[in-house]
Each structure stands twice: as C-alpha cells, then as structure tokens.
Amino acid sequence: MFGLAPFGDWYALPPGILILGLPGGFRLTCYYYRKAYYRSFWLSPPACAVAEPHGKYTGETRLPLILQNIHRYFFYFAIVIGLILTYDAVLALVHRPAGLGSWILLVNAALILGYTFGCHSCRHITAGRLNHFSKHPLRYKAWTLVSKLNAKHQKFAWASLFSVMIADLYVRLVAKGVINFPFA
C-alpha cells in the first residue's frame, strides 16, 4: 500500500533542498531580519516617534513570537554548514588551479562565516554573562572580534544572501555543462 517510501520520494531530492530549513531558519529568526519584518508585517514599532499601535507589549514571550528563541539552535547548525562550505572551498583551491569557481566558493564561505559569527547569539555565547572581562581575557578578545563582525551584520546578511545565490547558480551551471572552460 505505502511501499518503501510512505512519505514520498524525499530521499531523491538534492541534499541542498533537504537541509534548506537549517540556513533558512537561521535567517528567518535572525535579529536583523526580525527588525525588518516586525516593522513590515506587525508595524511594531511603526517608526521612532510614533506611538505603539498595540495595547500591551509582550515581546517574544507568547506565540508566535516565542518561536524566535529557536535562533540560537539554528546558529549551531549554521556554524556547521559554514565550516563545511569553507572546507569545500579550501579543497577546491588546494586540489585544482585557482579558477573562478574556487574563488566564488571561497568568497561565499567567507561571507557566510562573517554573517554567522557576527550574529547576536555568537556575541552572547562568547561573553554574554560575564561580569568582569578582566577575569576572562580570551573570552573578551573573542567577544571584541564578534562585536566587530556584529557591527557589519546587516552588510554580511545581504552580501551572503546574494553570494549563496551566485555560488549555487555557478555550481549548477557548471554541473549542467553550461559553463565549460578550463579552471572553471
């Protein structure tokens, strides 16, 4: 009746489609993107000098916004994905002459890692609950580095979003044989 695949042929899908929920969840719950869609969809806050349209502010303590707290878990998956992409990009540079594709993959990995490690969750993990930085100099240095990345989080968010599209398109065109030249 159901055969061997009761849920359909999901296993025949490309791995990129199967894991799409992990980076998608990380971006969807990102603090930078939240600001944009809170203002767009919920008018919260509508502008700086405009009164709050809602009677009571509950923050992210009730459904559906409490689900935003899952961001820190998506952060861990994003680190793994970023490291895998970096490993692939380094392998592409080491095992072949450096072509356009190798550099596209490397820039994509660098932008994704910049976006991931510039995340507010990463700042909290590195030194979020410290009362005295002087007692934890390594964590303070890590927090300082993450804070510098965090200052450019918006730029990394947009640049990495487009670099993913460009890298995926490039890999797809090479795989389909549309782009076929030496050192691709």
| 8 assigned to some structural domain | no
| 171 assigned to some structural domain | yes
The count of domains in the chain is 1
Quote the CA–CA distance of 62 and 43 in Å, as a whole number.
Answer: 17
| 29 assigned to some structural domain | yes
pLDDT at residue 171 greater than cutoff 90: no
Q: What is the pTM of this model?
A: 0.78
- 59: region left, alpha or beta (phi > 0 left; psi from -120 to 50 alpha): left
- 3-state DSSP assignment of residue 182: coil
| 180 assigned to some structural domain | no
pLDDT at residue 184 greater than cutoff 60: no
